[in-house]
Amino acid sequence: MVGDYGLELTNNSKVSWAFSLPRSSTCVMATDVCKRLCYGKGIRYQSQAQKAKRQRNFRTAELLLEKGGPELLAQNLVSIIDQVRPADWLAATITGEPTATPWTLRIHDVGDFYSVPYIHAWKLAAAQRPGCSFWFYTRSFREQLLLDAMTELASLANCQGWLSIDSDNYDSGILAYVQKPGVWKLALLQEAGDEINEKLLPELALVAKSKQVVSFPAHHGGRHAEPIQHDTLFTCPAVIGLYKLESNARKLRPCQSCTFCLP
């Protein structure tokens, strides 16, 4: 419904809590490779309920930005971030002990950053919740204004940004990366070995150290491309089945157990 508003997180069995947006409206710099291989095309993301949630999140974000700018959207983002604090968070703050599961949030398990005001809202929200660890992957780096705004977000101590590259955009991704190498990291959507651009890995070797680039072999329906072995690449262990997906939000998810991508 057009008048249906509200912000809602997704309980993701790989990453834990995440915020989603519709790909059609927000993946403003999607490449041909990511359009072809995006896991967002999978069955679990195609239910009417999942699609409606992403559309509602986008519609609400746009309304809040229109009515009150990044500050109003940030206020509402903080509200949903607080809803998913670990159950023992309050006790942990009193005793000084760690929570049983970390307080984490992936920004966009589907979707991407599409405007500067929207990015600023996430920066304000993340800064207000330093106890929560945020991370995101993005292809919106070919527009300098978006890259500058995302760099401010990724520069927060509790947020890690990853530039998502593939055979179509690796050159512009590397150029963005070297602007702020201490802030950004690189994530590779890895096609099958015979499909990947032959210049990509040699170019990565010029700027990245050993096991510094996280690689996500293309996967669908429980199958994945054969991981490429290269000095710069760290293959996501969840994609290749080293960590089991977990539906219970009170238990560690693969990304929380691995922590490679988290700040």
Per-residue confidence (pLDDT) for residue 57, from 0 to 100? 98
Q: Which tens digits make up the pLDDT trace of 202-222? A: 999 999 999 999 999 998 777
**Quick one: pLDDT at residue 249?**
82
Model pLDDT, residue 46: 77
Per-domain residue ranges of the chain: 10-258
Q: What is the DSSP string of 192-203?
A: -TTTS-TTHHHH
Structure confidence by residue, pLDDT tens digits, 114-142: 999 999 999 999 999 999 999 999 999 99
Q: Which two tokens stand for residue 249?
A: 């939000």
Q: pLDDT by residue (tens digit) across 5-57? A: 999 999 999 999 999 999 999 999 999 999 999 877 776 777 888 999 999 99
Question: How far, rounded to the nearest angstrom, does the alpha carbon of residue 190 sit from its chain's CA centroid?
Answer: 16
- Beta strands 223-224; 133-138: pairing state: unpaired
Which tens digit of pLDDT belongs to each residue from 53-104? 999 999 999 999 999 999 999 999 999 999 999 999 999 999 999 999 999 9
> Do 196 and 228 contact (CB within 8 A), yes or no?
yes
Predicted pLDDT of residue 201: 97
161: helix, strand or coil: strand
Cβ atoms of 65 and 121 within 8 Å: the answer is: yes
Degrees, nearest 5: CA angle 167-168-169: 100
